[in-house]
Structure 1
């Protein structure tokens, strides 16, 4: 579910976008794609599962994307912010997909590594991309990833950076290194993510390892360091998206977090900061996927086409402040005084220097994945 404590700040921010939202005109190609997008019965409901704080909400004078999509297309949409942790969500959907039963969801937004697993299991439908003309707006460097080389099963939603989030008043100083999270002065007020690749990726980078080609041997010092921090009480707990609540409540001084989340939470708590560690940050992508047996393919195509319109994608980007997969978003943000500063945000539009500091976690075989997950779980659940 959405995090109520952060919504007021987001709404205040989005009020500044009201004029833009009210005055936008849909492009002809978008209108054509939306017409007749129902399933024929007129009673279909598109259902999407995703993470919290991942879209622009309704605000006074500025309806959010879900409301605008319903208005512009006439399609019923149930937008579920019901993902906290990827593995927890996978455990929920696995029994049905393994039994060949369809889920209620027509689209799911999940990390690319989980997309690769679901493709391998044969639990996804090919996306109806022939009905998504705005796929031409996909930024080239995200097209045809190695785990989906023909772009059959996935379409990027947003990308982002795992790094250090902290409250400057609680820490009493700026943080810049992963080592700062292990400062005894912060004991019991630090958290790490349940996303193994983000937590382990940051620790391995700090240990001088190449995470683009992760090996079991190279990970052992980082596993040991994380385990000791948990035993010592340095790490308060391991979290999914719920670390946001702890940051706002003051339960955490610092944590491993995600760039866009902190950009939004700052609107509620201006003492929060996000930094890419000196040793580097972890770059990741979440993608839209269609589970096997999904019933509302045309509605799903209409949604994907709609959010890949640069004007709409820019509104989403202005709210979530992640890295948009859509060409033209930066130009749209730069046009409007309310969002022009975001066009220069290096966390949303990494320049060459920032790109050199960002690293993607490389692939693991099925057997390696199981071994890494078992070791990570022995720490996080211990």
Structure 2
């Protein structure tokens, strides 16, 4: 039985272990924490085939400039005199063009639909313990310019087989009559779904343990032994781990680990925030994105999650409460009857999304080492693309034909 060691216990690592185990690999998965931290826990819990436009798009450039020094903006870049940061920004600027966007639509659509279908299978196998709900996603707006952009995007999505419907204010109110909406209109994407992320992670961990997958928690990788084209072992604070294949799926820390092997993948953290509010009778029952402010609203198991923000910066864990306050204020503008206090800082979750410069994930085999595989750089789509990432990695490692074309996810495409 061939051995695989996975470094990283987030959604990509767990789903990779899940699918590799089904192919009878001997899997060890290592997490720096206790499989209870990172971006896989506090995110919006969306499965979004609707998201076919990469972060690196022409529309992002003027927004980034406009919002750069606004402490309440949903997107911000913090300029740093750091080689990796500067290099990433230049690559982002080069990717933010119409040609790249057009070339990215099909790869993003295909991997998202693959993931959505796999989520349904996983929900059936795990007795839907994580509350997968397929009722669509509302893109809500108050601003006329935003309305024009969202309607144009909906029409583009239709051309690529994504079913949408443009809704008036009364349409939205009739869709969810128990909740008061203050919007000009919206678009519903019927293909999207949502769930409670920490329930999924817990269920995956329990499933893997029941299948005798070796889960190693609170382990920090300190050294890697390798030859010119082959990784021999990785050494942690507790033990040394040998395997036939190694998968690095450590989120934003993946790039630093790969530097030990002289493998370069441009990766920057995109910090996001969320907080939870206990469910009330007049809460929304549909998940939504408040497009003007880029705030996500998700009904979950017993609570409502409000999340958002994208802070492109070096790795840090500073909580900028002004941005969280803006998320709360934005929510109240759209849902005027739902007012509550700013959460205490201890109740504000933050996570570092691993962002590639072109908005496409890194999924595949290293060009430099024959037994090194990489799964990272999913940005806001990490949870959404979890099953597809794991499935593709299992197919790549086992030398099977992949479920979809993976050329656009080449981990070393910037080299």
**TM-score, normalised with respect to structure 2:** 0.26
**TM-score, normalised with respect to structure 1:** 0.28
Structure having the larger proportion of residues in helix:
1
